[in-house]
Amino acid sequence: MMIFFMAGCADSDSQPSDFINEDHPEQESEVVSTTMEDDEETEDSSTSQDRKNNSNEEENTAKNLNELKVHYIDAGQADATLFQYEDKAKTYTILYDTGDWKRNDVINYLAAVNISYIDLIIISHPDADHIGQLAEIMKTYDVGEVWMSGNESTSQTFQNALEAILATDAGYEEPRAGDKTTLGPMELKVLHPDTISGKANEESLSILFTYGENSFLFTGDAGKADEKEMISRTSLQADILQLGHHGSNTSSDPAFIKEVDPDIAIYSAGEGNSYGHPHEEVIDLMQNEGIEVYGTDVHGTIVVTSDGKEFTIETKEDGTISPTSSGSSHTEQSDAESKGNENVDAEKENSGCVNINKASQENLQKIIHIGEKRVEELVELRPFDSVDDLTRINGIGPARIEDIKSEGIACTGG
């Protein structure tokens, strides 16, 4: 178990949607003007002592923060991170991304750590490996507010998530770079995007979380060009960085890594994933910069515990990250992955059987009654327990199930 001593600061308390935008000069000048007038009116012999008292009070508050736990959940080839902390007898819960649509690991983890209410859910972008379990989470828990980038997807997973949000009383925001708010003693600063244009990965909602003197940075699947945009807008440092895009070489630009200057890098990736995440050059870069690396494919769920000044790291599994212990493929992400279709697994057919849980869309259409429209819904609804379970697809009833079974092609593997 390792302990690190960090430096930083936190802001005053407000609600998540009470944004202050640093990119709005008219708002900033108004705040500065008010501060200056107050100084002129109150400047006297007691001012210096008052400021010392305030400074000491802030320092003592930072020293006395309650325990924060940041859970980098092992969600396979997907992302989900849970923040838990308390302040003044109130418990706070924040969830950044919600795992893959075809798994239930994130919602099971929330139950295992006794979550009862979620103050804020942040979805970096609408790909199925980031928004995947949001609909089920919204149906299971009361949620105070949801943040998204504003980019959309045609996938059923995304549509289900939107419907689940609308069915609740949760607030909804699409924050932009420069927005800043606090949730109890936690400060959240939005780094990206400034605007959106429909590029889901590139415009991932990127957030810097600051708790006392410890800071945590998340950039979703933002790429190198987007990372450079972030550091061009603001000075940026974080103690712990979640590596962009599961440790892909499409992210982690060297200039960005130098600017952020993290002590720890954590990535989320599935063991033996077909994308080769994390890429070897990214791990090499971290090691050359003296940054210690943890990954969910090697360490399982990773939990960081902070008191606002120092933190410890605990892992479910022991392991050491090296270029050879992680992914070995250097191929760029496929179009399917960038569209959130990582659910299209490498196909392994069994003696002519079309495995409805693993087959490609092309081969799925060999099954009777499964055309272009239904194959998309089929892929979104996987996994299926049996061929009979295909009745979950619109337009597939008992009669068509009999046709499919009589054809003898479809199966669920063995």
Q: Does 39 map to a domain?
A: no
Angle, CA of 22, 27 and 32, to the nearest 5°: 90
Q: What pLDDT is recorded for position 384?
A: 82
Number of domains in the chain: 2
Domain boundary among 315, 336, 354: 315
Q: Both tokens of residue 343? A: 């659910």
Residue 396's pLDDT is what? 87
Share of the chain above pLDDT 90, in %: 61
392 and 261 assigned to the same domain: no
What pLDDT does 61 receive?
A: 52
Yes or no: say if 128 and 101 are a contact pair by the CB < 8 Å rule: yes
Q: Could you tell me if 310 and 378 lie in one domain? A: no
Write the CATH number for 377: 1.10.150.320
Question: Is 55 part of a structural domain of the chain?
Answer: no
pLDDT of residue 294: 97
Domain boundary among 264, 296, 315: 315
Of 103-107, 239-243, 397-401, give the lowest mean pLDDT range.
397-401
Cβ(367)–Cβ(379) under 8 Å? no
Q: Does 323 map to a domain?
A: no
Tell me the pLDDT band of 338, cut-offs 50, 70 and 90. very low
Give the span between the Cα atoms of 219 and 245, in whole angstroms: 8
Residues 72, 174 share a domain: yes
Both 97 and 182 in a single domain? Answer: yes
**Together in a domain, 379 and 301:** no
**Residue after which a domain boundary falls, among 315, 335, 352:** 315
| Exposed/middle/buried for residue 66 (C-beta within 10 Å: 0-12, 13-18, 19+) | middle
Strands of the sheet with 310-315, listed across from one edge: 3-5, 310-315, 302-306, 68-72, 81-87, 90-96, 117-122, 142-147, 171-173
Q: Do 301 and 200 share a domain, yes or no?
A: yes
The percent of residues above 70 in pLDDT, for the chain, comes to: 77
Statement: residue 231 has pLDDT above 60: yes
pLDDT at site 412: 82
Q: Is the domain of 364 the same as that of 260?
A: no
Distance CA 187, CA 72 (A): 19
pLDDT of residue 3: 31
Looking at the fold, whether 293 and 348 belong to one and the same domain comes out as no
Q: Are residues 348 and 311 in the same domain?
A: no
Q: Which two tokens stand for residue 48?
A: 């210096």
Residue 164 lies in a domain: yes
**pLDDT at position 239:** 98
**What token pair was written down for 400?**
């068509």
Tell whether 180 and 298 lie within a shared domain.
Answer: yes
Average pLDDT over residues 64-73: 96
Dihedral angle of Cα 225, 228, 230, 232, to the nearest 10 degrees: -130
- Estimate to the nearest angstrom the gap between the alpha carbon of 109 and the chain centroid: 15
Are 81 and 110 in contact by the 8 Å Cβ rule? The answer is no
85/219 same-domain check: yes
Q: Which residues contact 373 (CB under 8 A, 6 or more apart)?
A: none
Q: Report whether pLDDT(45) > 80.
A: no
| C-alpha span between 241 and 194 (Å, rounded) | 21
In the predicted model, what is the mean pLDDT of residues 193-204? 97
Q: Quick one: pLDDT band at residue 21, thresholds 50, 70, 90?
A: low
Determine the structural domain holding residue 185 and report its residue range: 65-315
Q: What is the pLDDT of residues 70-99, one digit of tens each?
A: 999 999 999 999 999 999 999 999 999 999
Within this chain, do residues 286 and 362 fall inside the same structural domain, yes or no? no
Reported as a pLDDT band with limits 50, 70 and 90, residue 382 is: confident
